[in-house]
Structure formats: structure tokens, C-alpha cells
Amino acid sequence: MAEKKAAKKAAPSQNRIGLIDDLRGFCVLCMIFYHGFLLAFNSFGVVAGGQAYDFFRPVQPLFAGIFILLCGVSCRLSHSNWERGLKLFGVALAINLITILLLPQLARFGFDFSGTEIWFGILNLLSVCILFFALARPVLDWLPPAAGAYLMLVFWYVTRFFEAGRIGFPGELETTVPASWRTHAWTFPFGLHDDQFWSADYFPLIPWLFLFLAGAYFGVYILEGHVPKFAYKARLGPVNWLGRHALLVYIAHVPAWFVVLELLHLIHLI
């Protein structure tokens, strides 16, 4: 009887939660415009694109953070994180190779893709986070979800400026990362790199892994059925579609932007 009650309580979490797709779609929409501004400036010299990129840059961690948090939530709802993680890792690696090795070769045909190299972008981050969660889940589940979420948010907060060489709470409880940590070529996935490093899309494991894991702990409450009824309804139409097809949109949006910008360039509108 108890098992039937538990199953009944958890049943709503099997339905798609429209609010999650709405939020994810909004984040994807922000990403589309953000990358479009960057491409317009870097590859086509559109000054307004650079100005828009700089204007929206301060809020980029906000919509990226929401997206990462929601991906952590989704891990609790997935039937196979190993499969999802490995597939995403392959897609991310392909994007790395294309942007680092293939696109620069197109310069001989008059296409300028300088500054578009991706060494460790958001897909690299999410694939590693998903695989880490799949591996460490038995250990992570030792903590109650509320305690786990709180602890991960604290870890994220104290390491949010790790890439800039700072760690801890603002003020006397903050310290600097040793400069020697930032001299190795292989540490950039963790947020440690020298001033010469550049990645057009860059989301290191520290601090973003902690935000992802906070989302994974929040996802426990969805599995237990603690979801208000209004959250199941999708309300943003096309934005919701973006949220449900985030990976496809991520792969396609930069080539689509390039085609649009190239056409605008050919007809002398930019």
C-alpha cells in the first residue's frame, strides 16, 4: 500500500513540466542574441554588435546560470545520464574540433572566423557535469536534498570569481588563488588559465559544477511530486519549443547567424 501511495505521489513528475521548458527556452533565446552580437562584431566588424555584446555581457551569467541549474534538475528526471552525458560529450568535442581546427582554414576563402574558437564551452561543461553526476550519484545521495542544495550553492558562491583568481566570501574571508596555479596549459577546464587564454564560449567546471549539482538536488523534490499544478502548463509558445529543443538550437544557431549576416553583408546592409 505504501509503495502504491509513493508511486501515485511521484506520478506528476513523469509529465513534462512546461515551466522548466519555458525558462530553458528563454535562456536559449538570450544565448542566440548574445552569440549573434559576438559573431557580428568578430567576423563582420559590426560596431553595434560589439556594443550590444558589451551591454548584455554583465547579465550573461544570469541566464547561463539558470540554464545550468535547470540542466541539473533534468538529471534527476533522466532515465540514462550516462547515455545523455556521452552523447553530449561527443557533440561538444565535435564543436571544439570544428571551431579550433576547421573554421580557421576557411580564411583562405575569405571567411573570417577569428575569435570563434571554443575550448571549453557550455556543452563541454554540461557533458562533464552529467557524467560526474552519474558517477557520483550514490555519494551525492548521502546528503538530504535541502542540505545538498544549500551546500552546493555556498560552494558556487565562494568560487564564483575563481577564474579571476579569487575565492571565498567578500572581505577578510576572501583569498587569492596562487599565481602558479594559472600557468599550466591543461587546467583551463577548471577555470585556471593565463591571460592569453581565449574561448568564445567558456564555462569552467569551477564554479558552474556546483550550480549544476544544486539543480540536481532541487530535482529530488520534483521526483517526489512537489510541483505546483501551474508549472505543468507551457505558456510561452515558441520560447517553450526552444527549451524542448535546446541542443538542436545550440548546434544550429551560429551557422544560421553566419548565413544571415553574410547575406546582409553581400547586400551591403552591414
What is the per-residue pLDDT for 2?
39
For 175, phi then psi, to 5°, come to: -135, 170
Query: Which range in 95-99, 108-112, 167-171 is most confidently predicted, on average pLDDT?
Result: 95-99
Cell of 224: 517526489
Measured between alpha carbons, how far is 185 from 220 in angstroms, rounded to an integer? 37
Tell me the per-residue pLDDT of 162-198, one tens digit each, with 9 for 90 and over.
999 999 998 778 999 998 888 888 999 999 999 889 9
The alpha carbon of residue 20 and the mean position of all alpha carbons in its chain are separated, in whole angstroms, by 15
| Tens-place pLDDT, residues 249-263 | 999 998 999 899 999
Owner of C-alpha cell 576547421: 102
231 versus 112: the higher-pLDDT residue is: 231
The span from the CA of 119 to the CA of 193, in Å, is 12
In this structure, are residues 123 and 95 in contact, taking their beta carbons and an 8 Å threshold? yes
Which of 214, 168, 166 has the alpha carbon at shortest distance from 191?
166
Question: What is the model's pLDDT at position 15?
Answer: 74
- Residue 206: pLDDT over 70: yes
Closest CA to 17 of 214, 245, 240: 240
pTM, entire model: 0.89
Minimal CA–CA distance to 88: which of 121, 137, 60?
121
DSSP 8-state secondary structure symbol assigned to residue 120: B
Q: From CA 166, how far away is CA 6, in angstroms rounded? A: 45
Interatomic CA distance for residues 245 and 252, integer angstroms: 11
pLDDT in tens, 30-59: 999 999 998 899 888 899 999 999 999 999
**No. of H helices and E strands in the chain?**
10, 2
Matching residue, cell 522548466: 20
Cβ atoms < 10 Å from Cβ of 243: 25
